[in-house]
Amino acid sequence: MRVLISICFVLLTTLATPVFGQVAKPLEFREESFDFGFVKEEGGPVVHEFLFTNNSARYVKILSVKASCGCTTPAWTHEPIGPGKTGFVQASYNPNGRPGYFNKSLTVATDLETNPVVLQIKGHVTSDVQPLANADFQSANGNWRLRTASFNMGKVYLTDEYTVRDFQILNGGKKAITYSGTFAGPPYIGVEVQPKSLGPGEKGHIKISYNGKMKGQYGFQSDNIELATDDELNPSKSFTVYATLEDNFKDLSPEEIAKAAQLRLQVQSLDFGKIKSNATTVKEIQFLNIGKGVLDIRSVQGNCTCVRAAAEKTSIKPGESSTIKIEFNPFDRKGTQQKAVTVYSNDPKNPVQRLTFTAYVED
């Protein structure tokens, strides 16, 4: 008898298994994953529709479809789907600016008492545009790609010699770009492009040369240059050239330095306190020449158009002192302000000295 019961149990289990295995999902998608394969970045959005059937005994409504990123736009059947009827969930993927492999999801929520359905799209975005050979070339000027949008020469000495800096460029377009050899700019700046013609994806160099003596000014300076090319996207390429100019005392002997002037500021920082935004505030600081030579104040500069600074005397004998007047115009400013004044002199040990000040601007 026990053997008979066991056999019956096995038969019932065997027969029951296929029946339970054939139970359909209430909302059955024909596919839950789709591979677009290779997608052209320039071809615009790609679209796929996931079709489904309502296998339940009642009407089903899709409540929401949420994409995993803004690059994927969903659409779906908004009206209730009757039993045995079909509906769709659409995925539109925008490949623009997204080269490489992608894998995105859409989460479908319905009024069924079941977990949301997660759909998946994937693929690989390719481009007809010449890819950048180096991720550092993020700044675009037409089809030229550079590491920065401007050329910073850094420190340039006020000597009759050219300071030369080298800046890399890359042709990010699909056609060759040729530099005409002509540019517009001040006479103390020189430009050389090597090679003059760059094929798609090729790298080259822009050499900027800067004559500090010809410029003849101290401190932070900016100039504009324009290079003529045959780039279809932007043939006339404008760039800003930055430089900080100061004297060069590297060739002085220890004996000459010992006999030179030496600048000492009375303070290195100032607090203007609380000030009103409708009135210019003025402060003065003292400075001394503690060296053995005559001290020449070359330039005194504020780091903002709101700051004006000037030395009372620009030539100070050893042991003498003078003052620097600082004017701060806080118009259209509020709250804590931090500004600076830079003093350029012929002190070979410390030719560039910086004074900072703070203020709190009230209405």
**pLDDT (tens digit per residue) in 192-213:** 999 999 999 899 999 999 999 9
Distance of CA 109 to the CA centre of its chain: 38
Identity of the residue numbered 305: T
Fold for 23-126, please state it.
Immunoglobulin-like (2.60.40)
On whether the 139-246 domain is CATH 2.60.40.10, my answer is yes
The per-residue pLDDT of the chain, averaged, comes to: 89
Measured distance between the N- and C-terminal CA atoms of the chain, rounded to whole angstroms? 101
* pLDDT at 266 > cutoff 60: yes
Question: Which pTM does this prediction carry?
Answer: 0.60
Rounded average pLDDT over 344-355: 95
Cα–Cα dist 261/263, whole Å:
7
Residue 11 has pLDDT above 90, yes or no: no
Instruction: Inform me whether the pLDDT recorded for 22 exceeds 80.
Output: no
Q: Are strands 352-362 and 100-110 parallel, antiparallel or unpaired?
A: unpaired
pLDDT beyond 50 at 15: no
Amino acid 125: pLDDT: 86
Q: How many residues does the chain have?
A: 363
- 318-324 mean pLDDT: 98
Which tokens hold the place of 17? 């298994």
- Residues 363, 331: Cα–Cα separation, whole Å: 10
pLDDT tier, 307 (very low <50, low <70, confident <90, very high otherwise) = very high
- Read off the pLDDT of residues 34-71 as tens digits, 9 standing for 90 and up: 999 888 887 889 999 899 999 999 999 999 999 998 89
User: Could you tell me the residue ranges of all domains in the chain?
Assistant: 23-126, 139-246, 254-362
Report the alpha-carbon distance of residue 289 to residue 295 in Å, rounded.
Answer: 6
| CATH code that applies to domain 254-362 | 2.60.40.10
CA pair distance 150, 88, nearest whole angstrom: 51
Q: In whole angstroms, what is the distance from residue 330 CA to residue 82 CA?
A: 70
Hey, which residues does 164 pair with through a beta bridge? 209
Beta bridge partners of 138: none
Residues 6+ positions from 192 with CB-CB distance below 8 Å: 206, 207, 209
* Euclidean distance between CA atoms 91 and 82, whole angstroms: 23
